[in-house]
Amino acid sequence: MSLTDSRISLAHGNGGRFMRELIDEVFARHLANDALDTTVDAARLALPGDRILFSTDGFTVQPLEFPGGTIGSLAVHGTTNDLAVAGGDPLFLSLNAFIEEGFEAALLERIVVDLARSAAELGVRVAAGDTKVLPRGQGGGLYLATTGIGVMRHPGALGLNEIREGDALLVSGPVGDHAVAVLLAREQFGLRGEIRSDAGSVLPLTRALRDVPGLRFMRDPTRGGLVSAAHEIARATGLEVILDEPTVPVRPPVRAVCDILGYDPYYLACEGRVVAVMAPEAADHALSAWKAAPGGADAAVIGRLQAPRNGGAVALRTELGGLRLLEELEDDPLPRIC
Q: Is residue 33 near its own copies by the rule CB under 8 A?
A: no
CA distance 118 to 121: 5
Q: How far is it, in rounded angstroms, from Cα 110 to Cα 105?
A: 9
**55 interacts with its own copies by CB under 8 A:** yes
Considering only residues 194-223, where is the footprint of its own copies by CB under 8 A? Answer: 219-220, 222-223
Backbone angles phi, psi at 97, to 5 degrees: -120, 130
Q: Under the criterion CB under 8 A, does residue 42 sit at the interface with its own copies?
A: yes
In the complex, the smallest distance separating the C-beta of residue 338 from its own copies, rounded to whole angstroms, is 8
Residue 55: in which H helix or E strand, if any?
A: strand 52-59
Residue 214 vs 225, nearer CB to its own copies: 225
Q: How many residues bind its own copies (CB under 8 A)?
A: 87
**CB distance 100 to 57 below 8 Å:** no
Using the minimum distance from each CB to its own copies, give the nearer residue, 47 or 292: 47
The pairing of strands 275-278 and 314-317 is: unpaired
Residue from the set 32, 40, 292, 325 that interacts with its own copies by CB under 8 A: 40
HEC readout, 66-134: ECCEEHHHHHHHHHHHHHHHCCEEEEEEEEEEEEECCCEHHHHHHHHHHHHHHHHHHCCEEEEEEEEEE
**Positions in 224-253 near its own copies (CB under 8 A):** 224-225, 228, 232, 236
- Report the distance separating Cα 78 and Cα 139, nearest Å: 21
Candidates 60, 118, 172, 197: give the one binding its own copies (CB under 8 A). 60
If binding is defined by CB under 8 A, does position 94 make contact with its own copies?
A: yes
Kindly identify the residues of this chain, within the stretch 249-308, that bind its own copies according to CB under 8 A. 269
Q: Tally Cβ neighbours within 10 Å of residue 216.
A: 23
Q: Which stretch binds its own copies (CB under 8 A): 6-14, 23-31, 64-72, 113-121?
A: 6-14
CA angle 201, 202, 208 (to 5 degrees): 135
Q: Which of residues 172-191 bind its own copies (CB under 8 A)?
A: none
Q: Does 50 bind its own copies (CB under 8 A)?
A: yes
In the complex with its own copies, which residue's Cβ is closer, 133 or 305? 133
